[in-house]
Structure 1
Amino acid sequence: MSTASVRDVAQHAGVSVGTVSNVLNHPGKVAPATVARVQASIDALDFSRNDAARQLRAGRSRSIGLVVYDVGNPFFTDLARGVEDRASDEGLTVLIGNSDSPARESAYLDLFEEQRMHGVLITPQSDIIGRLERLRARGIPVVIVDRRSEGASVSSVSLDDVAGGRMAVEHLLSVGRRRIAFVAGALTIRQVSDRLAGASAAVAEHGGATLEIVEIPSLTVLSGREAGAALAARPPAVRPDAVFAANDLVAVGVLQALVMQGDVDVPDDIALIGYDDIDFAAAAVVPLSSIRQPSREIGETAVQILLEEAADVALEPRQVVFQPELVVRASTVR
């Protein structure tokens, strides 16, 4: 391995150390001929810059830490792609982890603090606002994604899930449904409880409508399928005539169960609406109505806020809230 230093490269190319640094980090500031001369010296000396040492001197790495509930959920996959696209524009890399347990969430935050990340984006699994405030106080910008920051002490980028839940159920009510089931797991998750709050408010404003909460172990296709099978097995008189699923994965599972049952028609017997509008929603055997979140834009906006706070630690935290959009398909209206 070469032991050549930046100073060796500068001497070989006949330029200053500062010019070599600009070629490595900001080549657009250097004349093309000079860039070519420095690159030739780098190749001749087999120079490899020590990024770890450079980051240590700068006090911050060139990576962003992203922690989400489940990167296997297409919503979070799209959000992560938005994060990655915006980060790459700035020459930053993204390290992604799942916060599917408080212990794992805490371990990632320990790692990101130890590595002096350029910033941290997180969808919290537990009540960790104090921990996030400490990261911010240590000069590591933090932005909460897909959930509003409690107390507004840390920046966040989220969707108005109360409005989204209301929108979903108002749509079901508008097509004549009155016995509505909300199929959801982990009601302690803020996004889920907000969607339930919006759904409850919509039902309360329509006389004769009811809202049943069907709790499931997790927000997955399998849990949705089990819930759908249980609903389909009920006698028609006590079966809901509409289902609002807490996310599209759950909705896909419910739909699979209803279709496999054979004698329950979607949407005639049970209208079905999901949440997130992932790609699978439009591609389902009965295309799913859903509440759309701008997942990539949420990720891109979160990175932009993080970059601004990294450049100016005096900036006050901001709360950016996107509005949901109703997407109507064949699962609620023929």
Structure 2
Amino acid sequence: FQQSRKRTAGILGGLALLTAGLAFASAGHAASAPPKWLMIPAVFVHTVAVLLWLGALAPLGAAVACGGPDAVFALKRFSNFIPAIIGALFVSGIAIGVVQVHTPSGLLTSNYGRVLLIKLGLVAAMLLLAAVNRYALTRPAIKGDVVAARRLSRSIAAEIILGIAVICVLGLWRFTPPPRVVAANPARFEVQQVSVANEDVSALLSIHPPIAGPVRVEVSEVTAAGKPLVPLGVIVELGKPSYGIGPFARQAKASDRGTYIAGGYLLPLDGFWVVRATILVSDFRSVTLTNVFDVRKATD
């Protein structure tokens, strides 16, 4: 019965790893980057390797803390498999990084590259701890050295904390397109900003991108009487009155960055477009801020 449970757990664990790897390899900037024959397998291997490494740390730490035969078995097994896991992580990570960062300068000149450098710093710290664990603490702990086992348990806990930090840092990539994407279509990431003010209310309006076609408008730095204001609502209108086009009104939605984004506009012409942002200051007062965006023609 015990063997059957272990076999079932192994099968379910393998299926979970396979599902997670396929999920990450089928979506996202990295998986969709050319050449797909390289990137899809690289993302799959990278994901599975990360899950195997981080997923093994908690039960390994628990086993070491409890001691006994289970700790010895877990340490021997982890020590045997971790070099191959880190090797797969290293090779797949290099492939993904080279394609995504595009050029070495992209590490320093792009937000994506800076996030990657932070991630690499945290991973380097994890690798240092892993090396200390493997070459300095594992063998004494297996032989029953209580002090080494205690140090190993603390080191594994630190490794887990660093792993969580890596995952948190990776969340920043949601807001940072890789240099490869920017280089392939730089116009898509251009921004034009105008400052607007009326009465005691002011804001910064940004159009992304300032090119005829689909655009979005972002409202930020909203203030009233010189103090930050959280409006009850924001409505953004775009119009070209000289051609009798618009205005097209959209309700802006609050973003994670504390700004307000109105999307879904499709500008058919270049030239000057009037932008109006109606700020709902309170239930009884709204202020309309008006300015002009200079939109250029789309190019192939």
TM-score for both structures, normalised by structure 1: 0.22
**1 or 2, which has the higher strand percentage?**
2
**1 or 2, which has the higher helix percentage?**
2
Query: Which of these two proteins has the greater Rg computed from alpha carbons?
Result: 2
Instruction: Kindly indicate whether structure 1 or structure 2 has the higher relative contact order, using CA contacts under 8 Å at least 6 residues apart.
Output: 1
TM-score for both structures, normalised by structure 2: 0.23
